[in-house]
Copies of this chain bind each other. A is one copy, B any other.
Amino acid sequence: MRSILLWMARNQWLRERLPKLWFARRAVRRFMPGEDADSALAAAAGFAADGIAVMFTRLGENVTKAEEGDAVAEHYLGLLDTIAERGIDGEVSVKLTQLAYDLDRDRALAHCERLAEKAAAQGRTLWVDMEGSDYVDGTLELYERLHAGHPNTGICLQAYLHRTAADIQRLLPQSPGVRLVKGAYAEKATVAYQKRPEVDANYVALAVAMLEGMRARHTVTLGLGTHDVELIEQIAEHAVALGLDRTAFEVEMLYGIRSGEQRRLAKAGYRVRDLIAYGEAWYPWYMRRLAERPANVLFALRQLLP
């Protein structure tokens, strides 16, 4: 099932056609307040009351023209202004291939630097997302250059990759920001754990490695990007065992998924951030979300019913 959905995510023919179908548009609303930034910004207001911060990301990846990347950078600069104007406790996460990284790496870095600079002036962190495993080396390299000049930046790392344990050890001395996710792409067994229990075990172990890093006086900004509450609570126990507090990390979940748990965790003293996606290019992202959880597929199928 997961493989089929991830194949569908990559398929160009489906990518052009499926999003136009009415039931797909209806189903995606589960995970997105709307296609435009205004819907996302409006949704953010609802979370403040529950003490939940937000993160914005405009969907889109692998753009094919440098100008598209420029426009995305401009869009995010404007978004940061709006976030500041509205007093939203929000951050921004960007995908490098949406900043035309495939075409010009230095230009993508320059975009990130401008965004990080504005975010720094506002006291925010700029997050760089991670994509398929072919991009990990390049994304890490760009992140290290970005982070050297802009400490208010973080990178997403994926627990399903065998390499991530080593990547974390490489980053720790640089006081990184790390958003740890399980990983949502179709990856080969040579690079990624294939079974969920293995990915879960690695997730906890990597989080513990970062908590150990914090205790060793590395400044680490740690976000746990998972809907797996059991894992989060397990990691919290390790944090306490290490003499840290559960606020040593932030819990990051997607808009529309386990909303009740997000509020419950926030009430229980966890720092919680809701990730709000928006934009027209939601198809591959949405298919990866379906691939993540069978429950999401059932929800999507139910949209076919009257």
Contact = CB atoms under 8 A, between A and B. Distances in A.
Q: Quickly give the copy total for this chain.
A: 2
Contacts of A200: 197, 200-201
B241 A169 contact: yes
A8 interface: no
Interface string A199-217: 0111111011100100010
Contacts of A202: 204, 234
Interface in A6-26: none
Q: How large is the interface on A (under 10, 10 to 19, 20 to 34, 35 or more residues)?
A: 20 to 34
Contact of A197 (B196, B207, B241, B242): B196
Contacts of A238: 165, 205, 209
User: For the complex, would chain A's binding face be called helix, strand, loop or mixed by DSSP majority?
Assistant: helix
A231 B168 CA distance: 19
Nearest to A235: B205
Contacts of A123: none
Contacts of A197: 196-197, 200-201
Interface in A174-216: 193, 195-198, 200-205, 207-209, 212, 216
A243 interface: yes
A162 interface: yes
Contacts of A216: 216
Interface of A: 162, 165-166, 168-169, 193, 195-198, 200-205, 207-209, 212, 216, 230-231, 234-235, 237-238, 240-243
